[in-house]
Amino acid sequence: MTTTKPALARAVVYADGGCDPNPGPGGWGVVIEGPEGKVELCGGDRATTNNRMELTAAIKALSHFPAGSAIEMRCDSQYVIKSVTEWMRGWKAKGWRTSTGPVKNVELMQELDALNAARDVKWTWVRGHTGNVGNERADRLAAQGRREALGLAPKQEPVQAPAVPAVVPTPDAVAAPVAPSPRTTQVAIDLGLGLDVSRAAKLAGLTPQAYVERAIRVALKLGPAGIARTLEGGPGGQ
């Protein structure tokens, strides 16, 4: 009679990294959802690249687990996912070289390869900025790691106001004028431009809405002539 060992429950891990500008100061963030509860990690470097921060996030995540652990790694970086699942075997067969020269970030690639080989890892690509809670949190942690590397204070997370019990208004209150709500305008944006805005906002450590508002204020300050000079690469457009 043969018996089979029960499959290990996989811890779910979200890893993300970014850099602004690229190259420049960057950060990485990790969210671990395991049996022991949620664990969050982050860090950064004052001089790095996007790809190095994405690789570092995956390395820090795997390093948190002992050898033999069952893990599902969820990353929004095709560079990291394809490096591990498609490209590394060929690189190693060629002595960590590609058809055009040495593998970039080779020391990080070799460290990631060793950690991956010692663990049971399922690699899953997730699309960034689509409302995935774990991925969005890892993105914010990466921005926090970048700020810490620059010696800046952590960005304050928005605090949800407590629920206020309903109150029946008095006749006088009903008759009182009501202050108008802030006026807003919805603007349709091309899908491709929307994705570019999301990526730029991520690098800046801002929400897409805050990033767009900042860009509009800059455009208003420049005026039509200033915008034209910027787009043409003339004075003021450097």
Which domains, ranges and CATH numbers included, belong to the chain? 11-149 (3.30.420.10)
pLDDT in tens, 80-93: 999 999 999 999 99
**What's the burial of 159, exposed, middle or buried (CB within 10 Å: 0-12/13-18/19+)?**
exposed
Residue with the bigger pLDDT between 232 and 62: it is: 62
Query: Has 190 been labeled as part of a binding site?
Result: no
Ligand-binding annotation for 76, yes or no, is yes
- DSSP-derived secondary structure letter, 4: -
Q: What is the pLDDT of residue 127?
A: 95
**Residue 196 assigned ligand-binding role:** no
Identify which has the larger pLDDT, 238 or 147: 147
Catalytic residue numbers?
16-17, 54, 76, 129, 139
Asked whether residue 16 is marked as a ligand-binding residue, the answer is yes
83: which DSSP letter?
Answer: I
Placement of tokens 């991925």 in the chain? 135
Query: pLDDT-based confidence at 35, cuts 50/70/90?
Result: confident
Full DSSP string of 159-217: PPPPP----PPPHHHHHSPPPPPPP-------HHHHHHHHHHHHHHTS-HHHHHHHHHH
- pTM attached to this predicted model: 0.65
The C-alpha atoms of residue 14 and residue 58 are separated, in whole angstroms, by: 9
Q: Is the peptide bond before 23 cis (omega within 30 degrees of 0)?
A: yes
